[in-house]
Chains A and B, each alone.
Chain A
Amino acid sequence: MAGLSELLVSSLILIGAFFLFVGSFGLVKLSDVMRRLHAPTKSTTLGIGSLLIASMLYFALLRDAPSLHELIISVFLFLTAPIAAHMISKAHILRNRALQQQLPAPPGEEGWATLDPHGVDEARPTEPAQPPR
């Protein structure tokens, strides 16, 4: 039983390290900012999740000291990694003038979120107008 647990924890550690390596290799290998954005933000999240599962299983099965710190870290990373990728892609669209010419027209009244000079949020007043006294 202990041998099976050790095998499980070891394989999860190796899988996590492999996916971290794949993310960093894609960061070096790929050619464009938008292409480079794919490799770290997806593969690295999977790798770090596997490492945290390995840590939880190690302390719960082999050391009889289950802890929930890893769960906090994994929830925080899984929530924040897409937001960071979204912010980087928005900044890239704002900074790249040739890319802005290729964007299709969005449906509705609003423009693209980073490019609209006065969006719906700013055009609409936040408070109702004061009645004259």
Chain B
Amino acid sequence: MIATACLVAVGVISVSVLMNLYRLGTGPDVLDRILALDTLAVNAIGLIVVIGIWFDTSLYFEIALLFAAVGFLSTVAFCKYLLRGNVIE
């Protein structure tokens, strides 16, 4: 039952990753693309967690933590660049 749920969840999250990629490609503004990148990082974390349950290993959670940190830092760095014209002042 858990394997079936993981299969369905991987399919649904893959479809949502495709929708994020659509918004990343055709976003009319830069901020749409930044928001799509942030959501893409969160979807990648969800995919990693589901695959970790499916393959019955706890090896992947460090990768998920790394995705969380890098996604947040890239979003804040992009927004800081748009706000101030510089990342580190």
Chain A interfacial positions (CB closer than 8 Å to B): 6-7, 9-11, 13-14, 16-18, 20-21, 23-25, 27-28, 33, 36-37, 40-41, 44-45, 47-48, 51-52, 54-55, 58-59, 63, 65, 67, 69-70, 72-73, 76-77, 80-81, 83-84, 87-88, 90-92, 94-95, 114
Contacts and interface: CB of A to CB of B under 8 A. Distances in A.
Majority DSSP secondary structure for residues of B touching A: helix
A72 B19 CA distance: 28
B76 to A, nearest CB: 6
Closest 5 CB pairs of A and B: A24-B16, A87-B79, A17-B9, A10-B5, A69-B61
Contacts of A7: 1
Contacts of A45: 42
Interface residues of B, number: 47
A84 B68 CA distance: 12
A69 B65 contact: yes
Contacts, number: 155
Contact of A51 (B2, B15, B49): B49
A83 to B, nearest CB: 7
Contacts of B16: 20-21, 23-25
Interface string B43-79: 1011001101100101001101100110010011001
A44 B29 CA distance: 21
